[in-house]
Homo-oligomer: A and B are copies of this chain.
Amino acid sequence: MATDRDLDRTRERIMTAALTEFAAKGLAGARTDAIARRAGVNERMIFYCFETKEGLYREVLRRKLSEKVHIIESSDDDFATTLVKGYESCCDDMRHVRMWQWEALDSGRRKIVAEEERRALIQREIAQIRRAQLRGDLPADIDEDLLMLVRIGLQIAPVALPQFTRLVAGMDPDDPKFRRRWSKCLRAIADRIAAPRSAAGHRHRNASEVQQNVQ
């Protein structure tokens, strides 16, 4: 008889195979028999462990979410560092980026899988941005939810649209040289977003205020 440990290993193998299949074909296109074959298990084990294909998909997403929760809780990074780390995490596992894209193309307006957990997680990230605004580390004149979308766009775009990265920069998004260049660019953009706007020289301000700042 299978021990608990055997079952854990089987679940693990299925989830690894499922991530690859979902990244290749999306939830709608993925086939449980292909996942079973890739994992080297009987297809019935998928239904025994996860009930449905969607149940398996949810578990694959949940694992990613729990990694993110850990990262959010364990760090109090500034906007620039969070942005660069978020981008590097996209590069390190492009399969999740592909899953988001399949979902975008696939789902139309129907309810997405694990919606409530995902909303709760993103709202925690938005709350972090809000705290940074209150500390004066991010501009208060841009809504915190939109700053979150700015972050998502900048960290995902070159990975999600690799053909544009190649057309624009002549490099694949997973080229280490491109990764270094983009990380540096993200930091420069984030610094500019974070910089106190009132201090920009081409806007009007009181010269004595400026002098206080530069001392």
Contacts and interface: CB of A to CB of B under 8 A. Distances in A.
Interface of A: 26, 98, 100-105, 107, 109, 112, 115, 118-119, 122, 126, 139, 141-143, 145-150, 152-154, 156-158, 160-165, 167-170, 172, 181-182, 185, 188-189, 192-193, 195-207, 210-211, 213-215
Contacts of A107: 163
User: Copy number in this complex?
Assistant: 2
Contacts of A112: 163
Q: Is the interface of A mostly helix, strand, loop or mixed?
A: helix
Nearest to A113: B163
B100 A105 contact: no
Contacts of A215: 207
Given A104-B162, A141-B188, A168 B200 contact: no
A139 B104 contact: no
Contacts of A141: 188
B199 A201 contact: yes
A182 B105 contact: no
Question: Which of A143, A147, A160, A165 is the most central at the interface, judged by chain B CB atoms within 10 Å of its CB?
Answer: A160
Nearest to A215: B207
A164 B202 contact: no
